[in-house]
Amino acid sequence: MFARSIVASVLSALVVGSALPAAAAYVGGSAGGEDTTELAQVKAEKTEKKEKKDKKDKGDHAKNFPMKADVFKKHVDARLAKARGKLAAALEKRKVSEEERNAALKRFDDGAVKVRAAADRAGKDGTVTLEEAKDVRAVAKAERKAMKGAVANRDKKGKKSKKA
């Protein structure tokens, strides 16, 4: 008995819930066809959002290669600028002395030169393949690891902290 009453109430809620949007659209006047431009705009916005999401989707990076060299260099420069900004913000947040901050940023810039050189080598023929991009990424990872070993996790005496 109890189960039947639950099922009946759920079914009635579904029926009423599915009828309400149609009734509201009819009362609002969109069922007559006057508001089709609004509906078209909403649809266009939804498809635009979906396209942006698909473009942003991490998915299969191999689909983007081979890539033009100048586009690849722009990506590399953008990533380096973002990383430098994050490093500068982290140094500012931790109130690192000016001398240490300059040393860390100089070390970053030295590594960035190596990464840009690797990107130039990868794009010397005008296109960058997936394998060449992986080589550039390996150089960037090696530089990041070397910088972390040289700069990060130091205590006041300049020794590595126990966390590192």
Domain that holds residue 135: 61-151
Mean pLDDT computed over 44-55 = 72
66 and 29 assigned to the same domain: no
What total of structural domains would you count in the chain?
2
Query: 105: buried, middle or exposed (CB in 10 Å: 19+, 13-18, 0-12)?
Result: middle
Mind listing the pLDDT tens digit for each residue in 99-110?
989 999 999 999
Q: How far is CA 62 from CA 75, 98, 123, 137, in A?
A: 15, 42, 17, 14
66 and 138 assigned to the same domain: yes
Which are the contacts of 139, defined by CB distance < 8 A and separation ≥ 6? 114, 115, 118
* 3 state SS of 68: strand
Q: Which backbone phi and psi does 94 adopt, to 5 degrees?
A: -85, 5
Of the two residues 65 and 33, the one the predictor is more confident about is 65
Q: How far apart are CA 154 and CA 104, in angstroms?
A: 12
45 and 94 assigned to the same domain: no
Which pLDDT does position 164 carry in this prediction? 46
79 and 136 assigned to the same domain: yes
Query: 77: buried, middle or exposed (CB in 10 Å: 19+, 13-18, 0-12)?
Result: middle
Which pLDDT does position 20 carry in this prediction? 57
Mean pLDDT computed over 44-67 = 72
In a domain, 45, yes or no: yes
93 and 21 assigned to the same domain: no
Whether 33 shows a pLDDT value over 60: the answer reads: no
76 and 94 assigned to the same domain: yes
In a domain, 17, yes or no: yes
83 and 138 assigned to the same domain: yes
Q: How far apart are CA 22 and CA 35, in angstroms?
A: 14
Of the two residues 46 and 93, the one the predictor is more confident about is 93
Mind listing the pLDDT tens digit for each residue in 65-91?
889 999 999 999 999 999 999 999 998
